[in-house]
Amino acid sequence: MKSLGEFFAHAVVLEEEAAERYEQLAASMASYDNAIAQELFLIMAKFARMHLDETVTRSREAGELPDLKPWQYEWPGGESPEAWWLAEDPDYSMSPNEALRVALSAEQLAHAFYAQVARTAIDPGVRKIAQTFADEEANHVAEIERWLRRHPEADEDWSESQP
């Protein structure tokens, strides 16, 4: 991660992927009448869209973004954010706890990515902005952890309360 441009190119892909995956999850929960999981994923999608807009706005400060080829991206473990998500179809009867865990692991991976850049980038400007992004993801993680405390694993009656 050598330049601000490279950093923003990664952040745009990461946030776009997150927004799209959350929207897909919300749509599939809607088709199964799982209204609470749908709502949760819509909230997460909104966070990701906001973060994406902010990323695009801030990236303008870095000028034109480099047009990276897929193999030029440096994702942790060599895996793109797309691969971080569950590949299979989501379980339609997902409980609040399960839906929150899907969101939690996505936010933790995003946080880990930004935190790693904040620690390892040579350019101090890149380290600084990556730390800002890492802090925002840490807030998302903390928010989901709060929700998880309200919906412990034993919280089974949720899907049964669906119409």
- Which residues of the chain form contacts with Zn ion (CB under 5 A)? 107, 137, 140
Give dist(CA 66, CA 7) in Å, integer. 10
Three-state DSSP class for 58? helix
Cβ of residue 53: shortest distance to Zn ion, in angstroms? 13
- Burial pattern 96-115, b for ≥16 Cβ within 10 A else e, equals bbbbbbbbbebbbbbbbbbb
Number of CB atoms found within 10 A of residue 144's CB = 22
Give whichever of 47 and 158 is closer to Zn ion, judged by the CB atom: 47
Minimal distance, residue 145 CB to Zn ion, in Å: 13
In the DSSP assignment, the letter for residue 79 is -
Nearest distance, CB of residue 71 and Zn ion, angstroms? 26
Task: Find tokens 């706005």 and name the residue.
Answer: 57
Give least dist CB 77 to Zn ion, A. Answer: 19
Residue nearest Zn ion by beta-carbon distance: 140
Distance of closest approach, residue 139 Cβ to Zn ion, in angstroms? 8
Q: Which of 113, 103, 105 is nearest to 42 (CA)?
A: 103
Q: Which is nearer to Zn ion, 21 or 140 (CB)?
A: 140
Write the single-letter amino acid at 21: R
